[in-house]
Amino acid sequence: MTNEDIELRKRIEAVRAAVGPDVTLVAATKTVPPERINAAIRCGVTVIGENRVQELLDKYDAIDRAHVQVHFIGQLQKNKVKYIADKVDMIQSLDSLPLAAEIEKRCAALGKTMDCLVEVNLEGEAAKGGVPFDETEAFVDSLAVFPHIRVRGLMTVPPKCEEDAKKLGYFRKIYQKFIDIRTKKVDNSFIDILSAGMSGDYAQAVACGSNMVRVGRAIFGERN
């Protein structure tokens, strides 16, 4: 093991220790080269999350996929679904009906049911993906017509904010919506995942009920 591997292992174990055994750690691997992703996998990472279709395709064959799930976590254009439908285990950024219809079409052709999270835009930020918070339930209901989509829960990237109280408020708000939707039991849904929390705030997110965190910089270091 190189010093770099030892450092990586330490960081991964620190995040794991902080979130506890019931929370899934997704290593967010944008800009991280495949060798380093594979080192993280050797250190026990079981799920990676990629943001960009092209980057995922470029790295895909070099990633040691025998022991890792690949999630798509970035904004996804409808016309790119065909490139990744057979490659990813989950799409965390489902946020429109046209996108859902495309996932349905591609996965039906593959004979595959795609696990998806509905991305929620908590404060209506225009630059970000996600369905408006108040439309979350209606959107989840509308996905019941797609037999090759299995809704597993919600994902969010809350607004940047320095204030702790405000941050906690965002995480509580998405957790409450997650509970509401889980209680409702919609067709084709098996709601058990709340994906919230990144390097700067995963501990807070987990304290507020998140059970999946997507962590990049705290594992791999700052991105250039």
Ligand X SMILES: *Cc1c(COP(=O)(O)O)cnc(C)c1O
Q: Which residues bind ligand X (CB under 6 A)?
A: 28, 30, 51, 73-74, 157, 198-199, 214-218
Instruction: Identify the three-state secondary structure at position 212.
Output: strand
> Angle at which helices 3-19 and 34-42 pack, to 10 degrees?
60
Is there a contact between 42 and 65 (Cβ–Cβ < 8 Å)?
no
Instruction: Identify the three-state secondary structure at position 3.
Output: helix
Nearer to ligand X, 56 or 148 (CB): 56
Q: In the complex, what is the shortest distance from the CB of residue 219 to ligand X, in angstroms, rounded to a whole number? A: 8
Q: In the complex, what is the shortest distance from the CB of residue 183 to ligand X, in angstroms, rounded to a whole number? A: 26
Q: In the complex, what is the shortest distance from the CB of residue 71 to ligand X, in angstroms, rounded to a whole number? A: 10
Is there a contact between 56 and 37 (Cβ–Cβ < 8 Å)?
no
Q: In the complex, what is the shortest distance from the CB of residue 121 to ligand X, in angstroms, rounded to a whole number? A: 12
Q: In the complex, what is the shortest distance from the CB of residue 46 to ligand X, in angstroms, rounded to a whole number? A: 16
Nearer to ligand X, 105 or 173 (CB): 173
Nearer to ligand X, 27 or 151 (CB): 27
Helix (H) or strand (E) holding 105: helix 97-110
Residue whose C-beta lies closest to ligand X: 216
Residue carrying structure tokens 């799930």 = 69
Nearer to ligand X, 72 or 175 (CB): 72
Nearer to ligand X, 148 or 156 (CB): 156
Residue carrying structure tokens 């594979």 = 38
Concatenated DSSP letters of 8-44: HHHHHHHHHHHH-TTSEEEEE-TT--HHHHHHHHHTT
Q: Distance between CA 132 and CA 174 in Å, rounded?
A: 12
114-121/149-156 β-pairing = parallel
Nearer to ligand X, 73 or 118 (CB): 73
Q: In the complex, what is the shortest distance from the CB of residue 205 to ligand X, in angstroms, rounded to a whole number? A: 11
- The first and second tokens of residue 198, run together, are 């990144």
